[in-house]
C-alpha cells in the first residue's frame, strides 16, 4: 500500500521576514539531509497554498510504503529549526491510502462480487 500524508503548514512572520535566498538556504540546509536520510523509503512534494486559502500557507506531501518512515521524517522535521525556530507551524496532518479501496476489493473479493451481481 502507498501511504500519502498531506502536512498543512503555516509560515510564521519570522520565515516571511527572511529573504528568499535565506529561506532557500535554510530549506536546503535542514530539509535536504532529512530527505537524504529517507532516500528510497519516502518521497516529498511541496505545494504553495497561501494564494488560495487562509488555513495554511503550504502543503507538504510525503509518500511511503511504510508509515514508520513518515513518522521518522516528522520527528526529524520537528527537531529542525524549520519547525522549532519557529519558521513553520504544523496546522494539520491528513493521512491517506492511495487507492485503498482497490487493495480492499482485491483482498476481500468485493470487486468480483459486485461484477457477479451486475
Instruction: Write down the pLDDT at residue 118.
Output: 53
Instruction: Write down the pLDDT at residue 109.
Output: 80
Whether 113 has a pLDDT exceeding 70, the answer reads no
Task: Sketch the domain layout of the chain as residue ranges.
Answer: 2-117
2-117 homologous superfamily = Apc35880; domain 1 (3.30.70.1030)
Instruction: Write down the pLDDT at residue 112.
Output: 55
The torsion region of residue 72 among left (phi > 0), alpha (psi -120 to 50) and beta comes to alpha
Tell me the three cell numbers of residue 81. 529549526
Handedness of CA 62, 48, 96, 30 (dihedral sign): positive
Tell me the three cell numbers of residue 62. 510525503
Instruction: Write down the pLDDT at residue 51.
Output: 96
Amino acid at each position: 500500500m502507498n501511504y500519502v500524508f498531506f502536512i498543512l503548514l503555516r509560515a510564521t512572520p519570522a520565515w516571511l521576514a527572511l529573504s528568499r535566498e535565506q529561506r532557500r538556504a535554510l530549506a536546503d540546509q535542514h530539509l535536504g539531509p532529512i530527505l537524504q536520510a529517507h532516500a528510497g523509503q519516502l518521497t516529498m512534494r511541496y505545494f504553495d497554498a497561501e494564494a488560495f486559502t487562509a488555513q495554511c500557507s503550504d502543503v507538504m506531501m510525503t509518500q511511503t510504503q511504510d508509515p514508520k518512515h513518515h513518522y521518522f521524517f516528522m520527528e526529524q522535521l520537528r527537531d529542525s529549526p524549520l519547525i522549532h525556530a519557529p519558521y513553520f507551524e504544523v496546522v494539520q496532518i491528513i493521512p491517506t491510502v492511495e487507492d485503498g479501496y482497490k487493495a480492499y476489493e482485491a483482498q476481500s473479493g468485493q470487486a468480483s462480487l459486485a461484477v457477479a451481481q451486475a
